[in-house]
Amino acid sequence: MERGARSGRRRVLLAALALWAAMPWAACVCWEAIPADGPVVDGVEVPDAPAPSAGGLIALTFDDGPRRSTTAALLDGLAERGIHATFFLIGRQIPNNMDLVRRMDEEGHQIGIHTYDHTQLTGLNRGDFAAQVDRTRTLLQDTLGHNHFLLRPPYGAVDPGVRAMAGCPIVLWSIDPEDWDDKDPARIVDHIVDNAKDGDIILLHDIYPTSVEAALQAADRLRRRGFYFVTVEELFAARHIPLEDGHCYRTAYP
């Protein structure tokens, strides 16, 4: 599939999502928004999130991949459901999984950077930061032929240095079921579904079979509640929130 054609279809989709978000049925659930930009470890208090909502736009995101067995199964499940997600990839895992990365891109998923070695970025000098972020960005650019990647710092750790050196928007999350902990799909699904709100960003990891299972089950349940799945880029475009380099984004509440 030609990238120009995909870009054209994505522009049409973004315009449709923006129109959808402005319709009365979307406006009927309107909550006070968490500020789109806010520090993570700077001691700034973030307001409480709104109550769970019925329906709206929501973004599934996956960290720490790609891993061939689990990521391929997840892509199959998302394709069956027509769902687009956002994947924050580990650089060292890209060379042996370039076909998976290309498949993500070709199937309409968004791709981001999660460092080269899953290294905490706070406190790093410019050279060490470049070895983690810029090296991964170059790998992705060489693999996909374009350069438009968000950054998710491991552990959500951000400081002024990370902001200054990011070179792209920084995307965090608003729902974290800690799927790496007990690896209990039922608990993970319940946590996601019970807390889901219009504009949320869900954090999961596509390196665990249990997380893949939970992600697809949660997607099915949320769809029955009226949620529509979009990439992070599509979520913020639908809310007319520009994503700026060096700024942190947790949610896109209406």
Q: Which pLDDT band, with edges at 50, 70 and 90, does 43 fall under? A: very low
Q: Which of 191, 200, 205, 206 is catalytic?
A: 205
How do residues 168-209 score in pLDDT, each as one tens digit?
Answer: 999 999 999 999 999 999 999 999 999 999 999 999 999 999
Q: Which of 63, 105, 200, 206 is catalytic?
A: 63
Question: Is 254 contained in some domain?
Answer: no
Question: Is 122 contained in some domain?
Answer: yes
How do residues 87-118 score in pLDDT, each as one tens digit?
Answer: 999 999 999 999 999 999 999 999 999 999 99
CATH of the domain at 138: 3.20.20.370
Beta bridge partners of 62: 87, 204
80: containing domain: 3-42+50-249
Is 205 an annotated catalytic residue? yes
Question: Is 110 contained in some domain?
Answer: yes
- Residue 138: the pLDDT is 98
Number of domains in the chain: 1
Paired sense of beta strands 56-65 and 248-249, if any: unpaired
Between 5-9, 141-145, 163-167, the lowest mean confidence (pLDDT) is in: 5-9
Q: Which pLDDT band, with edges at 50, 70 and 90, does 52 fall under? A: confident
Question: Is 105 contained in some domain?
Answer: yes
Phi and psi dihedrals of 105, rounded to 5? -65, -45
Is 37 an annotated catalytic residue? no
